[in-house]
Amino acid sequence: MVISESKSQPRLLAENEMATVRALALIALLILLCSAVFLVARLIILNVYTPADLPLNGTDLWHAFWIGFRFDVAVVIRVTLLGFILSILVLVLPVRFNKPAEIVWRFNLGIGYCLLLLAVLFSVVNVGYISFFNRPIDGFVFEGLSYGVATSAKSIYGLENSFWALAIGAATAIASLIIYTRLWRLIATGLQPFKVRSRPFVIIGLIIPIILLALIGRGTASTFPLSYRHLAISSDTAINNLVPNGLIGLYYGHRQFRKSKTLGPVDDVVGRQLFEQFYSRIPTQENLFSQFFTRTGKSEFLTSQPPHVVLNIAEGMSQALLTDRFNNGLNLAGAMKPHLADDLYFEHFLPASNDTQDSLLGLLINSQYVQISRSKYQHVPLPTASAKVFKDAGYKTIFIYSGFEGIANRAAFFKTQGFDEFIGAHRLKTLFPSMRSSVWGGEDSYIFEHAWQLLDSLKAGSQPHFIVNLTVTNHPPYHMPVHTLQPPIDAPASLAARMQNLPPESLDTYSYTNDHLGRFISRIKQGHGRDNTIIAVTGDHSIRGMKFDRSEQLHQLAVPFYLYLPDQYRPSTLIDQRQIASHKDIMPTLFHAALSEASYVNLGRNLLASTPLESPHNFAYHRDYLLVKNGAYNNSDQATLPGRQISSSFDLTTEPAIAASEAVQRVRNYPKILDWLTRYQLDPANQSLSQ
């Protein structure tokens, strides 16, 4: 700063000095406007997309708004920081140079316009994201873009009220920009140069604002600044959803996405610690990786008469929609309904995650590295892959998918992971020319038709088959196959009230897939495969976009696990169908039901046998929850968040969970073990050892 007057004489601020004052006023204005936008978005989420029984006077609720406001202010400060620094730099210029100050002012105005537009845009996106996924914007946004912008956009347009959301967002953006324009003009004309003494101005007018902005931008004056760990403040997902604004969600989502694409080296010492903590025994000094594996029991019967095994993974197959409590008596199971009544049906069951790719990798690969199928490791065969277990036992392994083969590079990747064939929408179109294509692929009915033809062609003594069917019709934009004769479903009022912005067609596509799946099972039961075919059914994730109460959060996530076992393959012991389990338990159950002395990675339990309470596998796992000894714990970085007891009806109660802390900590090692095993297998130095 150039000081020409005497230190004791007051003087008018020069234009370059006023640039700093106006920049401070502009930052205050943007804090006010952006915080108002983010607050409105939170109020919409609170009133429309959170459980009706959320206490409005709860401490956690107000804490969520307070932390959210701190994030809002921090975002504005960090985005406008460059412009403020430039405003400070012009102070060193001579007073007669006014042009740089004008340029900096215009630059700050431009940043404000961009920030306000982004605040409105991503507030709308965040509200819509929470309404559908029940979580704020995260790394899945960038995962979804990898499917193609056009494909993702068509799915979004297929949601109910998407047009109105865009219209309201556009109107809000225009109104915000008009208000911003009028207010900055008041700042520009209202803040005229005023007299100051030079030294007090430097101390009070410059140094103090810089310190304040640094503290506000940091989010706190304490040791640890605002960070990802501050996003989880409660054991209630609905409360945590209120904390991040759209821009913060996008920022941490991108960090999460980038982190998922990189893998660091594997540490043997860390692996041995995880092994000891999870299994409650010390590993031997032999190769650690092999000690994570176990074997099914020896069976002469299974050796001589191995069954065919068909695992059906249905897109968005929600357990809630199969339950009278939520469907109000409406039959959405279609032809699946009698099978659910006649065979094994586990209702208290969680998927690995809330999206297809995550759940597929958890089920079939025992990994959470969602980028693996498109990464440089896509051609590395993994010993933890489930298809490899069947293939090593002499099975022919086939993956049938009504989606396009190139989605997430699934065709090439799963063939690397032990599937002899991968049949996707393009191949199905060749086999069935009448099949119509949609944005995601073909029609589910042709999956089951082709799987039936394969099984029906097998003669006695043929090579056993392991078949995985993955459906896609019940996916946004929920387009029903044009030639189906199924009439549109008229949802009862109680169900319609829960649908939020899900279109009515979502019930049609849900019922359509279930109906064709049920017919497929009926054909097997009525054919020659009824005595030697094991059939399993589950959902990749639950329905997304329905509204549930706080106590119903597990129902919101739950998927069914159905299992048909021919009499000769069914154990004589009583099977507990009320037990709480998850995706990690499906493949161990199928291995034990079908294979003799098969080696597989020891990360789940056999649901057909009783599991000791002290077993390390006696828990259910989901990306959002850990269910341990009848208690539900938020599966976040905040390990100290309290758990809640689960009622006999699979509701979350208000009672605190009672599992021992060491049991909960042991279970929290499960995803760390998945990560360690993945890193080990992808390390070139270990690939020959792990085969």
Contact indicator for 132, 544 with CB cutoff of 8 Å = yes
pLDDT number for residue 374: 84
Q: What is the pLDDT, as a whole number, of residue 136?
A: 86
**Would you place residue 4 in the very low, low, confident or very high pLDDT band (cuts 50, 70, 90)?**
very low
| 378-394 as b/e: b if 16+ CB within 10 A | eebebbbbbbbbbbebe
In contact, 410 and 401? CB cutoff 8 Å? yes
* Position 224 pLDDT exceeds 60: no
Of the candidates 391, 388, 390, 412, the one whose C-alpha atom is nearest the C-alpha of residue 401 is 412
pLDDT of residue 3: 42
Share of the chain above pLDDT 90, in %: 51
Predicted local confidence at residue 12, as pLDDT: 44
Pull the structure tokens for residue 509.
């596509």
Q: What are phi and psi of 14, to 5 degrees?
A: -80, 170
Amino acid at site 494? S
| Integer CA distances (angstroms), 628 to 490, 621, 631, in order | 39, 9, 5
Six-digit token pair at 576?
């507990």
Domains of the chain: 11-259 (no CATH), 268-690 (3.40.720.10)
Interval 82-93: pLDDT, tens: 887 787 777 666
Confidence of residue 14 (pLDDT cuts 50, 70, 90): low
Residue 619: both structure tokens together: 């828990």
Residue whose C-alpha is closest to residue 310's, from 496, 140, 517: 517
**The pLDDT of residue 2 is above 50:** no
What's residue 217's pLDDT? 65
Angle among Cα 249, 158, 507 to the nearest 5 degrees reads 105
pLDDT band at 195 (very low <50, low <70, confident <90, very high): very low
CB 246 within 8 A of CB 121: yes
**In this model, does residue 248 exceed pLDDT 50?**
yes
**Helices 586-594 and 356-364 meet at what angle, rounded to 10?**
40
Residue 41 to residue 136: CA distance in whole angstroms = 12
- Contact partners, residue 419, CB within 8 Å, separation at least 6: 387, 397, 398, 399, 468
Lowest mean pLDDT among 37-41, 185-189, 347-351: 185-189
- Which ranges of 558-646 would DSSP assign to H, the alpha helix? 586-594
- Is pLDDT at 669 greater than 90 in this prediction? yes
- Per mean pLDDT, which range of 53-57, 74-78, 563-567 is the poorest? 53-57
Give the residue, 152 or 121, on which the prediction is more confident: 121
Average the pLDDT over 556-582 and give the result: 96
* CA–CA gap between residue 457 and residue 407 (Å, rounded): 29
- Give the pLDDT confidence score for residue 687 in this predicted structure: 62
CA geometry: angle at 611 spanning 311 and 357, to 5°?
35
User: pLDDT tens-digit profile of 169-188?
Assistant: 888 889 989 998 998 888 87
Mean pLDDT of 353-366: 95
| pLDDT interval class at 156 (50, 70, 90) | low
- Between the alpha carbon of residue 107 and those of residues 92, 190, 437, the distances in Å are 18, 19, 49
Of 470-484, 522-536, 668-682, the least confident: 470-484
148-153 long-range contacts (CB < 8 A, ≥24 apart) are 151/439, 151/440
Q: pLDDT digit string (tens) for 591-630?
A: 999 999 999 999 999 999 998 878 899 999 999 899 998 8
- Which residues are registered as beta bridge partners of 634? 625
Q: Please tell me the predicted confidence (pLDDT) of residue 302.
A: 97
At residue 311 the predicted structure's pLDDT band, cuts being 50, 70 and 90, is: very high
The model's pTM is 0.82
The answer on pLDDT for 555 being more than 80 is yes
pLDDT bin (cut points 50, 70, 90) of residue 375 is confident
Query: Measured between alpha carbons, how far is 475 from 438 in angstroms, rounded to an integer?
Result: 11
How far apart CA 152 and CA 291 sit, in angstroms, is 42
pLDDT at 13 over 60: no
Q: Dihedral of CA 64/65/68/73: which sign? A: negative
- pLDDT score, position 145: 64
The values of phi and psi at residue 293, to 5°, are -105, 155
Q: ω into residue 477 within 30 of 0, thus cis? A: yes
**Dist CA 134 CA 152 (whole Å):** 18
Question: Which region among 186-190, 217-221, 410-414, 451-455 has the lowest average model confidence (pLDDT)?
Answer: 217-221
441 has a pLDDT exceeding 80: yes
DSSP structure class, residue 463: P
Q: How many angstroms separate the Cα of 426 from the Cα of each of 312, 446, 457, 540? A: 20, 12, 22, 22
In this model, does residue 220 exceed pLDDT 70?
A: no
CB 167 within 8 A of CB 174: no
Q: Tokens for 83?
A: 């412009």
The amino acid at residue 416 is T
The predicted pLDDT at position 237 comes to 78
The 10s digit of each residue's pLDDT in 380-389 is 999 999 999 9
Q: Please give the pLDDT value at position 690.
A: 52
How high does pLDDT run on average in the chain? 86
Burial (0-12, 13-18, 19+ Cβ within 10 Å), 661: exposed
d(CA 293, CA 383): 10
Which residue type occupies 2?
V
Read off the pLDDT band of 5 (50, 70, 90). very low
| Helices (H), ranges, 90-159 | 99-133, 140-145, 149-157
Q: Residue 105: pLDDT band by 50, 70, 90 thresholds?
A: confident
Q: What are 488's strand-pairing partners? A: none
Higher pLDDT pick, 34 / 162: 34
**How many Å separate Cα 548 from the centre of its chain?**
18
Residue 523 confidence (pLDDT) above 80: yes
**Confidence at residue 631, expressed as pLDDT on a 0 to 100 scale:** 92
| Residue-wise DSSP of 300-338 | HHHHHSPPEEEEEEETT--SGGGSHHHHTT---SGGGHH
401 burial type by CB count under 10 A (0-12 exposed, 13-18 middle, 19+ buried): buried
pLDDT at 196 over 60: no
Q: Burial code of 240-256, b = ≥16 C-beta within 10 A, e = fewer?
A: bbbbbbbbbbbbbbeeb
Q: Give the least confident one: 46-60, 194-208, 619-633.
A: 194-208
